[in-house]
Structure 1
Amino acid sequence: MKKLFLLLALCLFAQHMNAQLFSKERLANLETFDNRFLTWGYFLGFNQYDFKFEYANQNTDLDTDIEVESQLGFNVGLIGDMRINRYMNLRLEPGIYFTQRNLIFPGFEEELDYFREVKSTYIHVPLLLKVSTKRLNNIKPFVVVGMSRSINLGSNEKNPEDNNEGQFRMTRGTNYFELGFGIDLYLFYFKFTPSIRGVFATSDELVRDDDPNSPWTSNIDQMSTRGIFLNFTFQ
């Protein structure tokens, strides 16, 4: 499903860019939009979160690694954009991100032991620097880079039960580095912006089991989130 969304988005980009770059009629929409100091909007999109595991005792046998099954999630949020100059903007994009990851731990026979369903609802707040090219007719490509902070409402961090009772626990707060790109499309009534962004956690998110020799967490040196966001912005 994720590949289908990406393919449809790329087809729309290509079609619109072809019309803007090679059409003889080049009417500019929203000519003064980028002169505003502050602009507002909202976004809808999709996400796919993953985990990166680092182990205390490295083993080249893949059968000993924890398997992560990522699922497609949904995100929605608001945008506040502040103009710095013609090519740079500072953006705040608070949003709510719903996602699920399934973990399969090696070495167990019963599903109750080897399978963990990790559902997360993130309040995600990134502060991004947007660097754009010169506007070409009604399109303007850009890249974004920044830092973010999220609160995981489903973290189970304070839950006294751990994997021995079937509860997988994560830290409630996480910091990230973000990098992405997109294209501003200036339509007749509003600016539409499809973008794709990668997020990379900068801290360990695992809350370990109470037993220091736990078969679930004792060999994990660090667990950190990685993710891809596909957002559609309306301003």
Structure 2
Amino acid sequence: MKKLILLLAFGLLAQSIQAQLFSRERLSNLETFDNRFLTWGYFLGFNNYDFKIEYNDERGRELTDVIVEPSTGFNVGLIGDMRINNYINLRLEPGLYFTQRNLRFPGFTEEQDILREVKSTYIHIPLLVKFSTKRLNNWKPFIVGGVSTSLNLSSKENNPEDNEEGQFRTTRYTNYYELGVGIDFYLYFFKFTPSIRGVFAMSDELVPDDNPNSPYTGNLNSINSRGVFINFTFQ
């Protein structure tokens, strides 16, 4: 039922966009919107996080290759946009991101030993520069890039228990760089923006087990988050 409601909602929104943006009348909506120095809004969206894993001994990787199983999570947040000129904007997009990744380790027979669930609740704060084209009727493509930092509220960095007790630990803070594309659609009463963005961690998130020869982290040099965000913005 929820999926049906979402499909109907997106269908009605798409129909409204088509009617307003591509009708023969080609009326300009929100003509002075981009002249504002500061604008505000919010976003809803989805994420898909993964881990990039580097090993200490690549020759023995086939014996310790960890399988990462990503899943789709949910995003919600706010937007503050500052106009630099007609084509460049500076954006701050603090948000709350919920996600989970499952790690499956080789060399074990019991599921409780093989599987480690890495649940994450991020307070994610990106500072982005948006480069737009000239507005075309009621839509305007753009590219965006910048840096970000996140606080993982679900981190177990300071947990004294490690994988021996079933706890896979990651760091609390992570830094990233981000790149993406999107399109601004100018509707009658608000600006609607779908976008897709790649996010890549610049800092190692691995907290090694206390045992240096741990079968879980002994051959891991680093793990770095990487993800895809699909956001729908309303301003």
Instruction: Report the AA paired with residue 221 of structure 1.
Output: N
Instruction: Report the AA paired with residue 168 of structure 1.
Output: F
Matches within 5 A, 1:182-197: 182-197=182-197
Q: Which residue of 2 aligns with 1:73?
A: 73
2:19 and 2:180 map into 1 onto residues whose CA distance is 24
Give the 3-state SS of the residue equivalent to 1:233 in structure 2. Answer: strand
Q: Which residue of 2 aligns with 1:141?
A: 141
Asked whether the equivalents of residues 191 and 234 of structure 1 are also in contact (C-alpha less than 8 Å), the reply is yes
Q: Which residue of 2 aligns with 1:114?
A: 114
Q: Which residue of 1 aligns with 2:3?
A: none
User: How does the TM-score come out when normalised to structure 1?
Assistant: 0.91
Matches within 5 A, 1:80-229: 80-229=80-229
Asked whether the equivalents of residues 103 and 116 of structure 1 are also in contact (C-alpha less than 8 Å), the reply is yes
Asked whether the equivalents of residues 53 and 220 of structure 1 are also in contact (C-alpha less than 8 Å), the reply is yes
1:65 and 1:94 map into 2 onto residues whose CA distance is 35
- Over the aligned positions, Cα root-mean-square deviation in angstroms equals 2.4
Asked whether the equivalents of residues 203 and 224 of structure 1 are also in contact (C-alpha less than 8 Å), the reply is yes
Cα 1:108/1:12, change in 2 over 3 Å: farther
User: How does the TM-score come out when normalised to structure 2?
Assistant: 0.91
Identity %: 72
For structure 2, the residue ranges without an aligned partner over 5 or more in a row are 1-6
Instruction: Report the AA paired with residue 46 of structure 1.
Output: F
Note the alpha carbon deviations across 1:21-62, whole angstroms, 9 max, x for none: 764321000000000000000000000100000111114865
2:22 and 2:60 map into 1 onto residues whose CA distance is 52
2:148 and 2:38 map into 1 onto residues whose CA distance is 21
- Runs of 4+ off more than 2 Å: 10-24, 59-64
Q: Which residue of 1 aligns with 2:4?
A: none
1:227 and 1:159 map into 2 onto residues whose CA distance is 25
Q: Which residue of 2 aligns with 1:4?
A: none
Q: Which residue of 2 aligns with 1:3?
A: none
How far off is 1:15 after superposition?
7.5
Instruction: Report the AA paired with residue 177 of structure 1.
Output: Y
1:55 equivalent in alignment to 2:35: no
Q: Choose 76-85 or 57-66, whichever is displaced more.
A: 57-66
Asked whether the equivalents of residues 17 and 139 of structure 1 are also in contact (C-alpha less than 8 Å), the reply is no
Instruction: Report the AA paired with residue 84 of structure 1.
Output: I
1:38 and 1:113 map into 2 onto residues whose CA distance is 52
Q: Which residue of 2 aligns with 1:40?
A: 40
Instruction: Report the AA paired with residue 117 of structure 2.
Output: E
Asked whether the equivalents of residues 20 and 137 of structure 1 are also in contact (C-alpha less than 8 Å), the reply is no
Give the 3-state SS of the residue equivalent to 2:39 in structure 1. Answer: strand
Give the 3-state SS of the residue equivalent to 1:207 in structure 2. Answer: coil
Q: Choose 152-161 or 105-114, whichever is displaced more.
A: 105-114
Give the 3-state SS of the residue equivalent to 2:34 in structure 1. Answer: helix
1:218 and 1:12 map into 2 onto residues whose CA distance is 53
How far off is 1:158 after superposition?
0.3
2:63 and 2:142 map into 1 onto residues whose CA distance is 41
For structure 1, the residue ranges without an aligned partner over 5 or more in a row are 1-6
Instruction: Report the AA paired with residue 36 of structure 1.
Output: R
How far off is 1:155 after superposition?
1.0
Cα 1:157/1:136, change in 2 over 3 Å: same
2:74 and 2:28 map into 1 onto residues whose CA distance is 33
Instruction: Report the AA paired with residue 104 of structure 2.
Output: I
